């Protein structure tokens, strides 16, 4: 049995995070000592470490709550977890494609910028490359 500070150290999360997880019911309400301090045990460490790891894997708090609720009902959450992982893989692939597209656009813009004089109409805009984008003939060859 230990207090919130020790739970924080053991699980590697802040005491504010622990209190927040209690408020949203990801962690069960802790037992209290006679003086009102929260008291935790090893099951709280395990649950908090699970939540922390799930967050690091980009599971939402709602996803985590769903997984924990299934487990508490003695139902295997594996199919739910697998579906969520598949969704995340799709989202990551989409973000990677968007980032590659952005990288290519920036590379082309940089190359065009290298061919232009240093100071073009600096009176009216911060940078004409950003304002105007790639010239149409350069963009068409991409």
- One pLDDT digit (tens) per residue for the chain, 142 residues: 999 999 999 999 999 999 999 999 999 999 999 999 999 999 999 999 999 999 999 999 999 999 999 999 999 999 999 999 999 999 999 999 999 999 999 998 888 877 766 665 555 555 666 766 666 655 544 4
Task: Kindly give the interhelix angle for 42-56 and 15-23, rounded to the nearest 10 degrees.
Answer: 90
Global pTM value: 0.72
Six-digit token pair at 81?
Answer: 């977890």
CB 39 within 8 A of CB 31: yes
Where in the chain are the domains?
A: 4-75, 82-140
- What is the CA angle 64-13-17, rounded to 5? 65
Alpha-carbon distance 69 to 73, whole Å?
6
- Quote the radius of gyration of the chain (alpha carbons, Å): 26
Q: Please name the CATH architecture into which domain 4-75 falls.
A: Orthogonal Bundle (1.10)
């Amino acid at each position: 049995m230990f207090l919130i500070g020790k739970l924080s150290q053991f699980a590697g999360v802040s005491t504010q995070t622990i209190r927040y997880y209690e408020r949203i019911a990801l962690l069960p309400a802790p037992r209290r000592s006679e003086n009102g301090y929260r008291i935790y045990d090893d099951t709280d460490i395990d649950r908090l470490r699970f939540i922390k790891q799930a967050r690091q894997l980009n599971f939402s708090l709602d996803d985590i709550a769903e997984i924990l609720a299934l487990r508490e009902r003695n139902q295997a959450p594996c199919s739910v977890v697998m579906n969520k992982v598949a969704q995340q893989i799709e989202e990551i692939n989409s973000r990677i494609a968007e980032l590659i597209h952005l990288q290519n656009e920036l590379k082309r813009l940089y190359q065009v910028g290298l061919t232009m004089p240093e100071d073009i109409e600096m009176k009216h805009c911060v940078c004409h490359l950003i304002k105007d984008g790639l010239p149409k003939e350069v963009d068409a060859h991409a």
